[in-house]
Structure 1
């Protein structure tokens, strides 16, 4: 059975995380992704570590499986001509160079669409290609601050805290994959490609979801609430006898049941806790009452009882617990690859589960330039031409 994006060719001029994560999703779904770096390898994540396995960065491995790799010197006209030739037969070109770079190299959308009118062209930048900040470089950490994400993460006493993963990069990769797939679908009807202008800042602001909506409707600047929820109580972490656990009560029935289970049924009937609105207003006092009861027993005791009674709850797992969890194993969220340098490596699997056109796991994260000769031959270059390009350090 063919994969969902079988037959789609992607020229990938991205590096680090947002772009490579996007193209890995497309590659997992069957697209032929050609990762382009400068000779020697120019994706910074190749050197980001530790940890390394036999000199190969764990960071690089996390976002580059299922791709082929070529190296091209984009600072030369001959190198840029290779990209134009590859793009002529491609469905998608994606890059994350600063605004203006592709225009300088004559690899911009207006130029490339004359070569290939059906091309879907995706630009990922920090701030987008319009607006006063369009020329500024964009980094996940900086965008977390600018977008307001850090202002709502952490506790009042802790100060602003970044999210523990480069989540803005990940979300931008996801949005970009969605946009590319939408443009490819639309092309089936119109026969035309189009340009996609993706911004880390736009993505981060869109991810504020209900918090942004709360501000836009009320005008109240949200405070850092730590693990608490601004609109729902009890919906947080709670201390037990042997550590913390999560309780996520979403309605009044669940709250009443919770109170019965932990031995304070009368609290569920008090007017100041009976409705969610009332619980939000009296959250600090209610949290103390709940924790006093929870600290009488260990977390596993409460998780078992709450789960049996359909009260949403869970532990706070460490990485070793996550990747030995039976559900994670059953869902094949760890996959094994053999890498020519790193040896046997474990990578996080894909969450996409399609019944017919299944996600593929065929190629290890490539060495820099591992497929240069193969890709150029397929693009029509002769062996002699490829040798000459290598001698002149064009590839």
Structure 2
């Protein structure tokens, strides 16, 4: 028998998740991993848009949906029906947190905005994630990770010099917005524990991208330098980039003088250390391209594995360039529990990315896979005090949907519904 899962740090915290796709769903997933009771609220027909991001038409077989919605319970309700909106208001009266990522103003029109819900539950932490935030001239625009990467400056400094614009290989603005939203929620929740007062948490994809331009913004603010693409190289230190070997690539981080000297000794190229061009970091940055060429000539004489052993023994930070398959074959990644399995009623055994933060007393846990569409509708509403007769009426009228783990609903048609603020590129 498996050991019982310990209560997480957020055990007892009730979160309503009115999000779709990535940024908001990632925020609530992080809270769920730490033990919060997260109720995923979806439209009855079609559900979250990520349910259709799969190779088939079955909304229960989407790896994209399962990746963002583990550890959550599922409620399917039509928010456009006044009775459906009232269901959410009822749940919000007893919730600690609500997370949503619709365009600003849309939930206000449905009576589910932060002012309306916090009037009935002053302690509610209401978190909104949008493309551009709740204020400012772009507040009403829809937001997408690609657009945020472009407008935050990230695309202008990603890729190789002279090549077309390139976005970061993952939807970094979506994901970072989710992380910042979770950070904001927890900060507001700690404030509520002290004062009893909830508040409005507002973040955006654009700000999530801008916040990651730490080095580049510092250089612009202090020196007026405008960052341009540099491939894998660092803007302030050299050598600090991926370099070719006899059979692949190796990432070398000789970012200070001591590591630079160790690198020269490990590669048996002390002449580079005596070269005036490379004597200190300003010189190495000025002559970075020549330096990379000199190092590559030496590194191409041996394999990546051979050089990794040499550099590890010399104390020079380095690592191989992995593809995603190699990442999850690495023994250290597995030792850190970064691959976790759950059993899904339709997909069978499903692997998840493990929790990236380890707490010694109240560790995060992957307790369950993503819910089927409406899987916990009846369970959640019974807990909220609704009668069986009222629930049955809403089910009969199509305002609610419930699906048991043994059902096979198959494909669901897409219908008109409030649109999410962002979609992962």
TM norm structure 2: 0.91
- 2:92 paired with 1:83: no
Tell me, yes or no, if the aligned pair for 2:355 and 2:365 is still in contact at 8 Å: no
Q: Could you list the per-position Cα deviations for residues 341-383 of structure 1 after superposition, in whole angstroms to 9, with x for gaps in the alignment?
A: 1111111111121111111222211001000000011111111
CA-CA distance at 1:110 after TM superposition: 1.1
Counterpart residue number, 1:276 = 281
Is the counterpart of residue 194 in structure 1 residue 234 in structure 2? no
Whether the 8 Å CA contact 1:145–1:151 is kept in 2: the answer is: yes
Gaps of 5+ in 2: 1-5, 401-425
| 2:77 is the counterpart of 1:72 | yes
**Contact 1:54–1:342 under 8 Å retained in 2:** no
- Quote the Cα distance in structure 2 between the aligned partners of 1:121 and 1:5: 17
Q: For residue 7 of structure 1, what is the aligned residue in structure 2?
A: 12
Do structure 1's residue 128 and structure 2's residue 133 form an aligned pair?
Answer: yes
Report deviation, 1:52. Answer: 9.1
- After superposition, the CA RMSD in angstroms is 1.4
Question: How big is the shift at 1:49?
Answer: 2.5
- Structure-2 residue corresponding to 1:172: 177
- Report the equivalent of 2:347: 342
| Residue of structure 2 in register with 1:95 after alignment | 100
1:158 maps to which residue? 163
Partner of 2:329, secondary structure, is: coil
The partner residue of 2:328 within 309, 320, 323 is 323
Residue 111 (structure 1) aligned to one of 79, 102, 116: 116
Distance in structure 1 (CA, Å) of the matches to 2:125 and 2:24: 15
Q: Which residue of 2 aligns with 1:39?
A: 44
Structure 2 match to 1:297: 302
Q: Which has the higher contact order (CA 8 A, sep 6+)?
A: 2
- Offset of residue 284 of structure 1: 1.2
* 1:317-357 Cα distance to aligned partner (Å, 9 max, x none): 11221111101111111111110111111111111211111
Q: Please tell me whether the aligned partners of residues 263 and 311 of structure 2 are also in contact (alpha carbons under 8 angstroms).
A: yes
Whether the 8 Å contact between 2:27 and 2:178 is mirrored in structure 1 is yes
Deviation for aligned residue 1:42: 2.2
Aligned structure 1 segments of 4 or more residues deviating by more than 6 angstroms: 51-54
Measured at CA, do residues 164 and 184 of structure 1 come closer, stay the same or move farther in structure 2, by a change above 3 Å? same
Structure 1 equivalent of residue 271 of structure 2: 266
Distance 1:40 1:361 in 2: 27
Q: Does structure 1 retain, via aligned residues, the 8 Å contact 2:262–2:315?
A: no
SS of the equivalent of 2:68 reads coil
Aligned to 2:292: 287
Q: What displacement does 1:286 show?
A: 1.1
Q: How far off its partner does 1:40 sit?
A: 2.9
Q: Does 1:148 align with 2:153?
A: yes
Q: 2:262 is matched with which residue? A: 257
Secondary structure of 1:62's aligned partner: helix
Task: Report what 2:373 is aligned to.
Answer: 368
- Structure 1 residue corresponding to 2:389, chosen from 384, 387, 394: 384
Unmatched tracts of structure 1, length 5 or more: none
